[in-house]
Chains A and B, each alone.
Chain A
Amino acid sequence: MSGNLLTQLLLNGLIVGTLYGVVAMCFVLIYKSTQVVNFAQGEFLLIGAWTCWWLVVEAGLPFWFSFPLTFVFMMVFGIALQMVVLRPLIGEPIISVIMVTIGMSLFFQSITKWIFGADVQPFPEIFPVKAVDVFGLQVQPAYLMSLVVSVLVMIGFAWFFKYSRMGLAMRATAFNQQVAQSLGISVKNVFAMAWAISAMVSALAGVVVGMVNGVSGALSFFGIKVFPAVIVGGLDSIIGAIVGGLIIGLLENFAEYVDGQWLHLGNLYTVAPFYVLIIILMIKPYGLFGTHKIERV
């Protein structure tokens, strides 16, 4: 029985871990291509989820229409944020930029609370709630959908950075902005694009979580979970972000199991990832996948 509980929790860990991975990828995307540490990453989930919720519940639009509309809105939002708030900060000290993104985070949290209130608002039911049986485990269809969406997003990212023209341009910009410009790449466009993609994909994650847990300010906690994920994986590695997200998701659930079975400390699982984070950083200061400069001999 407890073996079954463990597998169930690990499955949950896998599902939530891939979501963390997706959000962590969005964070790394911004960090890598624009060197901005975005403390407002979690708020992108929040804004995306509220936008979609509003379109469905308040504006009464069908979900299949609201969902892409949310994307368009988030794309415009990401570009506007980059152009209006972050572009003027190019060349300013890192600490100033960090202060600004922390400010953005607080601002978006308050303004969504002001507009939508502090209560949890459920999404109208889009998927059946009845759990389905997968290899003897009970899984909610919404969770399955979340897993599928996350994996699709990851494949999409991989394709984008490996094969698309703009993806290559973003990697070149991340490598060196002057080199990118010498190739005819507009660094300004790349920056705006990084924010747009990051905002859109985070919103996707926000909607997915909102459908499972309801929409509320708690969504921005995802932004906090992303830090251990990206630091474990290495701040500048997309693969690291995915692996880091998975590790954090699994750890949380494993810690919950250990706590429930033996320790009974309660809520240990929310902090466990941070302990692991400290240990990993002591062993590998650049994270598991963080890059060192290529040295030729």
Chain B
Amino acid sequence: MAEPALKLAPEEPLLSVNNIEVVYDDVILVLRGVSLEVPKGKVVTLLGPNGAGKSTTLKAISGLLATEDGEVTRGSITFEGEEIANKNPEDIVRRGIFQVMEGRRIVEDMTCLENLRLGAFTRRDGGAAIRNDIDMVYNYFPRLKERTGMAGYLSGGEQQMLAIGRALMARPKMILLDEPSMGLSPLLVKEVFGIIEQLCHDLGITILLVEQNARMALKVADFGYIMESGKIMLDGAKEDLINNEDVKEFYLGGDKERKSFKNLKSYKRRKRWL
């Protein structure tokens, strides 16, 4: 079957989230009008403190929200020009969006190889192509090949690599990565981010990267959004964010104590023309 004609105008983003509102358990309002865009082939990062609603945003896109009794109650999410809000996760994986959840979530009582084969669950292109891709993943993450035991015994860094490798096995157009640096040593964080950058470059996969480690994330990203309390507070191209005084102070600064944007007069001024 030939690829369908390009559904997307060249300037239209691959994914666009338009003013969505997300509610858990019918009552807990968590996202209050979030909008963001991810252009094809780019790395976009979504930054913000714990509890801001970053993971919720990713789950809204991947449809996993429904597994936690959450729902997109307003706004729209379009992928390749088609509405995907509140569709079921299987459907969304088949459309080419794959979420690597927070905490890696590999299947602990399976081997690396079995985890990788699971990643290819939705594929229909046969054993040879899948074996080929397993080799490709092992090329990116050679140390996974040596691990033959249960994946639950892998180190945190190896589990993260396996989680990313498993995502690649689905041959997705877009990967949603939720806090890949969590719990990893600085050295490993560097390694994992290096690979993320490489993936985007080699395979043309579009990435939406959620991070608390803003410094690392802005290094690999082309564009960034900063989120707090269920709202996007600031957005901009990588250089703009890195050079922004507030971002510098509160997200990149060396001081341990991170204050909120909300208490900031200069931020409120800026908000008007956001």
A interface with B by C-beta (< 8 Å): 165, 168-169, 171-172, 175-179, 181-186, 291, 294, 296
Contact = CB atoms under 8 A, between A and B. Distances in A.
B109 A183 contact: no
Contacts of A183: 93, 118-119, 121-122, 166, 170
A184 B64 contact: no
Interface of B: 62, 64, 67-68, 88-90, 93-94, 98-99, 101, 105, 107-110, 114, 117-119, 121-122, 150, 152-153, 155, 166, 170
A255 B109 CA distance: 37
A78 to B, nearest CB: 22
Contacts of B108: 175, 294
Contacts of B119: 183
A182 B109 contact: no
Contacts of A176: 105, 107
Given A171-B107, A185-B90, A165 B121 contact: yes
Contacts of A168: 110, 114, 117-118, 121
Nearest to A168: B118
B93 A172 contact: no
Given A182-B64, A184-B89, A184-B90, A169 B105 contact: no
B107 A182 contact: no
B64 A294 contact: no
A181 B89 contact: yes
A169 B152 CA distance: 17
Given A169-B121, A178-B68, 20 more contacts: A168-B114, A169-B118, A175-B107, A175-B108, A175-B109, A178-B64, A178-B101, A181-B90, A182-B64, A182-B105, A183-B122, A183-B170, A184-B122, A185-B90, A186-B88, A186-B90, A291-B109, A294-B108, A294-B153, A296-B152
A294 B109 contact: yes
- Shortest beta-carbon contacts, A-B, top 9: A184-B93, A294-B152, A184-B122, A181-B89, A178-B67, A175-B107, A179-B105, A186-B90, A184-B90
A226 B93 CA distance: 39
Which has the most chain A C-beta neighbours within 10 Å: B68, B101, B107, B166?
B107
Given A177-B67, A296-B152, A184 B121 contact: yes
5 contacts: A168-B121, A175-B107, A179-B105, A182-B105, A183-B170
A186 B118 CA distance: 13
A178 B70 CA distance: 13
Q: Please indicate which of the listed interface residues A169, A178, A181, A294 has the most CB atoms of chain B within 10 Å of its own CB.
A: A181
A185 B120 CA distance: 10
Contacts of A165: 117, 121
Contacts of A177: 67
Contacts of A169: 118, 121
